Amino acid sequence: MDKMIMSRMEYYGYHGVFAEERKLGQRYYIDLELEMELRAAGESDDLNLTVNYAEVHEVVKKVVETESFQLIEALCERIASVVLDTYTSINAITVKVTKPHPPFDIHFQGVTIEMRRTRK
């Protein structure tokens, strides 16, 4: 299966267990792997035969920036669900949500949740 990979899209969202996280917000990085057939688009150079990644970006942006979840697991699941529901040509999706600055008094580069979902 062919893949479209969208790497390190950056959004500002209001997610977290702590009230301050949901009030102040923070940056999130989203990576997607969209599994679909891309041969026809590649051979024809026709945008209508693929998924417009600018549109996918806007779909993900709407979820991250207008909805609010306590867990980034829930955010990850929601992104996968919305993208699969929006684009029927996508057979499977892998979503990675990275919270680069969790509110802990420890030093590390962040927390990432990764999920792969397939069309039911």
Tell me which residue of 1, 16, 4, 3 sits closest to 97, measured CA to CA: 16
DSSP 17-37: SSHHHHHH-EEEEEEEEEEE-
- Identify whether the C-beta of residue 94 lies closer than 8 Å to the C-beta of residue 112: no
| 99 tagged catalytic | yes
Tell me which of 23, 62, 99, 120 is the catalytic residue: 99
- Identify whether the C-beta of residue 51 lies closer than 8 Å to the C-beta of residue 89: yes
- Identify whether the C-beta of residue 61 lies closer than 8 Å to the C-beta of residue 79: no
Annotated catalytic residues are 99
